[in-house]
Amino acid sequence: MMKVEGNAGFTLYERERIKIATNNFNKAHIIGEGGQGTVYRAVIDGTTMAIKRCKEINESKKMDFVQELVILCRVNHTNIVRLLGCCLQFEAPMLVYEFVQNKTLQELLDLQRSKRFHVTLGTRLRIAAESADAFAHLYSLPRPILHGDVKPANILLAEGLVAKVSDFGCSTIDEKTQVVPKGTPGYIDPDYLLEYQLTASNDVYSFGVILLELLTSRRPFSKERKSLTSMFQEAMANGTLVELLDSDIVDEASMRVIQQAAVLANQCLVVPGTTRSTMMLVATEL
């Protein structure tokens, strides 16, 4: 294990440390899986961490990848999961993150949908605001960091349901080696599917879908495979938004706030993306 020169907060871990910490990548340690890799719960020097196995990367690109990770680990924001280090002694890079002890926004939405947990409108909009602020911060850096897979499963919830954006590190690999589209069905910007060139605007679209989920407690696709975005845009055009909303948050006192949030979501979903709201504007409005 060694510290990267000039960055005391970034550690290069040895292969054996990672294997021991994950019990040789035991399936019992898996806490998350997705298109960008598998996440394991691990303990290193008595501290619980999250280790993500990314996609494989060419040997010639590893040093460039390390330099990008050093930049990522300097990101210091309350609502962004902190990157602590990596291990490049496997074919697939291992990223080491702080461990967030709670659920994801996806799990919270599922609990709300099943009526096993009530999430107030205020809490929903606070989570949205914290997430938007985190994304806006990533885009405002001298070398902007794009996400590419914005969805509820990648927004972790710490103590007090504080939002923490995760899963942005592996995107530095995909930007250079991409042969298939990034993202998750239901959240992918139609503009992105035309050229496969990731922009901040694509992430804004995905965030708009999340905002719809928070307002409606519906999934991105219905059982009939009708998209939530198309149902929402029809409801906005026909003046029937209230029929789409989650009844748990609808009352006379909250409708003005809900209407404002719905207008903002609509601005996130505009196609083409050149006329879409920026994430900074979204964060400010929320």
**Which structure tokens are listed for 93?**
């890079």
Query: ∠ at Cα 247 (242, 249), nearest 5°?
Result: 95
Residue 14 CB neighbour total at 10 angstroms: 12
Q: Which of 133, 149, 174, 203 is catalytic?
A: 149
Of 198, 215, 206, give the one whose Cα is nearest residue 257. Answer: 215
CB 2 within 8 A of CB 11: yes
- The alpha helices in 141-254, defined as continuous H runs, are 171-177, 192-195, 200-216, 228-238, 241-244
Residues 92 and 76: their CA atoms lie apart, in Å, by: 26
DSSP 112-164: HHTTSS---HHHHHHHHHHHHHHHHHHHHSSS----S--SGGGEEEEGGGEEE
**Which structure tokens are listed for 115?**
């009526």
H or E element, residue 8? strand 7-12
149 included as an active-site residue: yes
**Which structure tokens are listed for 100?**
């967030």
**Which structure tokens are listed for 184?**
């998750």
At 187, is the secondary structure helix, strand, or coil?
A: coil
Query: Tokens 């960008």, residue?
Result: 36
Residues marked as catalytic: 149
